[in-house]
Amino acid sequence: MVNGYQAKSLQAALTILAKDPAVIPYGGGTDLMIEAKEDATYLFLSKIPEIKQIVEDEAYIRIGAACTFTEVLESELTPAIIKEAVSQIAAPAIRNLGTVGGNICNGSPKADSAMVFFVTGAKLRLVSSHGERVIPIADFYLGRKKTALQAGELLAEILINKNGLSNYYYKKVGARGALAISRVSFGAILDVAAGKIMNCRTAFGAVSDIVISRAEIDALLIGKTIAEAKAVKAEYLAAYDKAIVPIKGRVSAEYRKTVCMNLLRDFLETNGI
């Protein structure tokens, strides 16, 4: 029998966490189902309306952490790159249960939604009974299965910039067409306006202990015309060749490195660089 609390509001959930930091938050449970512990106490979050919404304000699209992948897919507000990544996560039955917050807080570099949130420059709103903080998703991951989530904190929302995401590139490489765990996943954004690259972000998932994303390397292309970006292409590729240090898993590190660099080159060539 599973022990736990069913929170009906965000404040109620935070009060429970403050009293018992050992409680394990439980969204859709698709990760925890296979690891459920008889002596654990769970905090069920699926009925909290404050973190089940997808809304927008002047600056951001705000995705509640307890939204399921299906809800993210069906929302008109969800950017296309996120929909494409989410559509390739597992099967419909799992997407109907699994939550975007759980996928992020699992701390896995193979989490398909986490990688595209890196690409979109997402921020995370973390809340506790003592207040809240907003941090870039890049600061959230500290290592495999290690995150910056503190005792008593919950991920409430993912904040995504509303503009500059239309020109994107996304690829997932798996062993089969469906229900595939990523061997390598790659996403990128190239925002071009008035003939210049206004923003460039790239990210590689399922390659290392954390998602690989290097803003300082992507900055080599920002502010340049496509022709000027071509002139620094070799420097850009060389920098990523050095930064990508894959770990060995189901496939070799050499395979992962080759796939990463091929995808990066294809992204550049697709955009005329």
With beta carbons less than 8 A apart as the criterion, state whether 134 and 63 touch: no
The confidence score (pLDDT) of residue 214 equals: 97
How far apart CA 247 and CA 231 sit, in angstroms, is: 31
Domain boundaries, the chain: 49-161, 168-270
* DSSP symbol at 234: H
Closest CA to 70 of 86, 81, 55: 86
Q: Copy the structure tokens of residue 125.
A: 């709103």
Crossing angle for the helix pair 233-243 and 253-270, to the nearest 10 degrees: 150
Residue type for 183, please?
R
Average pLDDT in the 212-223 region? Answer: 97
- For residue 13, CA distances in Å to 4, 22, 44, 49, 159 come to 11, 13, 8, 12, 21
> Is 49-161's fold the same as 168-270's?
no
**86-110 tens-digit pLDDT:** 998 878 888 998 999 998 998 887 7
Q: Where are the beta strands (DSSP E) in 138-253?
A: 141-143, 146-147, 154-161, 168-173, 184-193, 196-205
Taking the complete model, does pTM exceed 0.95, yes or no?
A: no
With beta carbons less than 8 A apart as the criterion, state whether 217 and 229 touch: no
The confidence score (pLDDT) of residue 176 equals: 46
Give rounded-to-5 percent helix, strand, coil for the chain: 35, 25, 40
Please give the residue that has the higher pLDDT: either 103 or 224.
224
49-161 fold: 3.30.465
pLDDT band of 144, cuts 50, 70, 90: confident
The confidence score (pLDDT) of residue 58 equals: 93
With beta carbons less than 8 A apart as the criterion, state whether 196 and 224 touch: yes
Closest CA to 117 of 173, 155, 76: 155
**179-216 tens-digit pLDDT:** 445 679 999 999 999 999 999 999 999 899 889 999 99
How far apart CA 212 and CA 206 sit, in angstroms, is: 9
CATH number of the domain located at residue range(s) 168-270 in this protein: 3.30.390.50
